[in-house]
């Protein structure tokens, strides 16, 4: 027998599950039966595609039995089984990316954390809510040895060789005081019908039934051993929508996703004709915790005629829809389709293309019919839709209507369509600003004149906006203009602005001479009203934010000097135009540039120099 330590993350997760999910402890049975179903799915696929597994001698089934006196509950399957290496890996570690950051994000608030843990998937470990000890006896088809895993969930687990006649896995729970209620036929049957009725393999409950024979003094109690099938055993996604309730859909979602919450939305489609397939997609209430990791776990399972094929193929749906959970079941794909063939398969390509269009059309309908629910969706998945805008050219028009932005004109989120409906009659462009936090962007000097003229500015505070939005170019007939760039201010110019610019031309030349190659040019601003200066990018140069983004991924070696805009109407600028002191002109020129950089969230190249200049100017002012 070998004793092992749980991975640190497993110990943390066990503690959190036991304390955060306890009020919903009955889900342990759903999780264990779901695991058993997965094991059967994998073996069934191999039995149809791999000669090594084609002559199996067992029925695909799940058996549940209990001992009311000994307070034990056992869930057994005839699935793929595990050897000692599998047991250590599957029941002792968590391989999911982002585990540490996920656990660090937990707050200690049981209700709030239960939602996060639901995203993570509690699986096997939820059984420790009702058991003091768990034993897992398992054997793989074709192997001679069986293996026994056991633990009390308090930091260690043991694995030893053990006798097991047939392949598959048995999970035996030694129920604690709070779990003893589940060693009951009625409780087990109730929970299986509630949570696992749709499992496509038969689930049998083994129990002793008491009946009475004879009459009067001859009447006696007779114990009868029974094994009853207690689930309907039909794949839920194959059933007609008219037969299913929201509750049916929600319980199925919780089984396949291991989430504790109901889904935000679901989309059930049955296609008949040239291709026959069924899809059932769910959108979780909260974004999966690994959604922004490169090695995210995909959430869509592929079946062929109800036979499970794969649940880890990222090609089933495009990356930007990686938040989806659900099922694709095709009648036309071959059972032995490999992952390599799958990526090039025309049938799969057609199913994927049609499924993407269906999901996006449903989202569009939701955005029109239920704005409150759509806002919840946007709060979780807006960034991914923007990814799609950049990568999915075939659906770009629909995605452009689906994405949302913050704005200077309205609270909450708004769309391009809503923006254009609010545009002033003389406005020809859609204005937007990119950068850091929403609060900083809404107070940026760059949008002062736009707000003064009543022009709405869209707030783009996602990093991805810097890449995606400029690539759009236009929305319908309206040009998209970044106020972070020099050219956007051309729309604000008038004769008065041109006159003021001409008046301070000598000052602009002086400032440019002082700053040299630290700026690309110094021009009079038509966009500023309250601030003395701002920096913008020249039309063909990356913005400050884009340069920072490129640097963060190791591609920002070249630095582009900004354009410095000076406000001709500002008191500082007016006063500066009358000053002859070269030292003061130099100090103020640098301060105008440096404070403009700070307002944009850009770092100062010489912080010490900036402080010295401020000190000198303050001293002279005093």
What was the pLDDT predicted at 106?
A: 59
Measuring CA to CA, which residue among 300, 236, 247 is closest to residue 270?
236
Q: Name residue, tokens 């990791």.
A: 293
Q: How far apart are alpha carbons 417 and 475 in whole angstroms?
A: 9
Q: The domain 237-400: what is its CATH number?
A: 3.30.230.80
Contact 613, 590 (CB under 8 A): yes
Class of the CATH domain delimited by 405-621: mainly alpha
Q: HSE of 524 in the Cβ direction (CA atoms, 13 Å)?
A: 22
What pLDDT was estimated at residue 189?
94
**HEC letters along 441-459:** HHCCHHHHHHHHCCCCEEE
First to last CA, the chain: 82
Helical axes 505-515 vs 582-599, angle rounded to 10°: 80
pTM, two decimal places: 0.78
C-beta of residue 355 within 8 angstroms of C-beta of residue 302: no
Kindly give, in sequence order, each residue whose CB lies less than 8 Å from that of residue 350, ignoring residues fewer than 6 positions away. Answer: 275
Rounded CA separation 385/51 (Å): 43
Note whether 550 and 556 are within 8 A (CB): yes
pLDDT of residue 487: 76
Contact criterion met (CB below 8 Å) for 488 and 541: no
Find tokens 């308090």 and name the residue. Answer: 154
| Distance of alpha carbon 541 from the chain centroid | 32
CA 371 to chain centre: 21
Calpha distance 29→190 (Å, rounded): 11
Handedness of CA 157, 163, 166, 171 (dihedral sign): negative
- CATH 3.30.565.10 positions along the chain are 2-231
| Average pLDDT by stretches of 10, the chain with 622 residues | 82 74 80 91 90 88 95 96 92 65 58 52 80 96 94 91 95 95 94 87 90 73 86 88 93 87 96 94 91 86 87 89 95 77 85 97 97 97 94 95 95 95 90 87 88 90 87 90 81 76 89 93 88 88 73 70 92 90 91 90 84 88 78
The count of other CB atoms within 10 Å of the CB of residue 265 is: 19
Query: Where does CATH 1.20.120.790 sit in the chain?
Result: 405-621
Return the closest-CA partner of residue 110 out of 231, 226, 24: 24
CATH 3.30.1360.30 given to domain 2-231: no
Residues of the chain with CATH 3.30.230.80: 237-400
Q: Which of 550, 568, 571 is nearest to 559 (CA)?
A: 550
CB 432 within 8 Å of CB 457: yes
């Amino acid at each position: 027998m070998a004793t092992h330590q749980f991975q640190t993350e497993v110990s943390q997760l066990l503690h959190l599950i036991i304390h955060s999910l306890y009020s919903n402890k009955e889900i342990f049975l759903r999780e264990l039966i779901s695991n058993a179903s997965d094991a059967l799915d994998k073996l069934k696929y191999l039995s149809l595609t791999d000669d090594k597994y084609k002559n199996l001698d067992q029925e695909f089934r799940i058996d549940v039995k209990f001992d009311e006196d000994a307070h034990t509950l056992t869930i057994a399957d005839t699935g793929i089984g595990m050897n000692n290496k599998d047991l250590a890996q599957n029941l002792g570690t968590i391989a999911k990316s982002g585990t540490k950051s996920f656990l660090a994000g937990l707050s200690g608030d049981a209700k709030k954390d239960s939602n996060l843990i639901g995203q993570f998937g509690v699986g096997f470990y939820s059984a420790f809510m009702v058991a003091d000890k768990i034993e897992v006896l398992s054997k793989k088809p074709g192997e001679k040895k069986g293996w026994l895993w056991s633990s009390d969930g308090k930091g260690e687990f043991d694995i030893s060789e053990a006798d097991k006649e047939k392949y598959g896995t048995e999970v035996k729970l030694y129920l604690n005081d709070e779990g003893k209620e589940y060693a009951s036929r009625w409780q087990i049957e109730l929970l299986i019908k509630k949570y696992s009725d749709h499992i496509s393999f038969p689930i049998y409950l083994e129990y002793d039934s008491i009946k009475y024979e004879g009459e009067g003094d001859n009447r006696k109690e007779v114990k009868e051993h029974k094994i009853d099938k207690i689930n309907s055993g039909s794949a839920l996604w194959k059933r007609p929508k008219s037969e299913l309730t929201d509750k049916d859909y929600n319980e199925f979602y919780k089984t396949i996703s291991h989430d504790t919450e109901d889904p935000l939305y679901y989309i059930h489609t049955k296609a008949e004709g040239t291709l026959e397939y069924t899809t059932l997609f769910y959108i979780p209430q909260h974004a999966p915790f690994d959604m922004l990791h490169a090695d995210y776990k995909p959430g869509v399972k592929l079946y062929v005629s109800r036979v499970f094929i794969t649940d880890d193929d990222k090609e089933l749906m495009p990356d930007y829809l990686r938040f989806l959970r659900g099922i694709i079941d095709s009648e036309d794909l071959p059972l032995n389709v490999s992952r390599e063939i799958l990526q090039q398969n025309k049938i799969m390509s057609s199913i994927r293309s049609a499924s993407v269009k269906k999901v996006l059309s449903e989202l569009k309908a939701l955005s029109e019919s239920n704005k409150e629910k759509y806002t919840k969706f946007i709060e979780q998945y807006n960034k991914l839709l923007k990814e799609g805008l950049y990568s999915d050219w075939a659906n770009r028009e629909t995605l452009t209507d689906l994405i949302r932005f913050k704005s200077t004109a309205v609270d909450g989120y708004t769309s391009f369509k809503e923006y254009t409906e609010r545009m002033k009659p003389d406005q020809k462009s859609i204005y937007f600003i990119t950068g850091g936090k929403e609060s900083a962007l809404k107070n940026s000097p760059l949008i002062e004149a736009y707000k003064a003229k009543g022009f709405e500015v869209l707030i783009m505070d996602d990093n991805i906006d810097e890449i995606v939005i400029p690539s759009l170019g236009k929305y319908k007939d309206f040009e998209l203009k970044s106020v972070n760039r020099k050219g956007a201010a051309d729309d604000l110019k008038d004769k008065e602005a041109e006159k003021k610019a001409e008046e301070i031309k000598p000052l602009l030349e002086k400032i440019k001479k002082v700053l040299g190659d630290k700026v690309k040019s110094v021009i009079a601003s038509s966009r500023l009203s309250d601030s003395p200066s701002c920096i913008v990018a020249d039309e063909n140069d990356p913005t400050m934010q884009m340069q920072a983004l490129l640097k963060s991924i190791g591609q920002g070696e070249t630095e582009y000097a900004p354009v410095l805009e000076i406000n001709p109407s500002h008191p500082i600028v007016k006063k500066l135009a009358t000053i002859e002191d070269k030292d003061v002109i130099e100090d103020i020129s640098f301060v105008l540039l440096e404070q403009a950089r700070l307002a944009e969230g850009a770092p100062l190249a010489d912080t010490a120099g900036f402080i010295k200049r401020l000190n000198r100017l303050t001293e002279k002012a005093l």
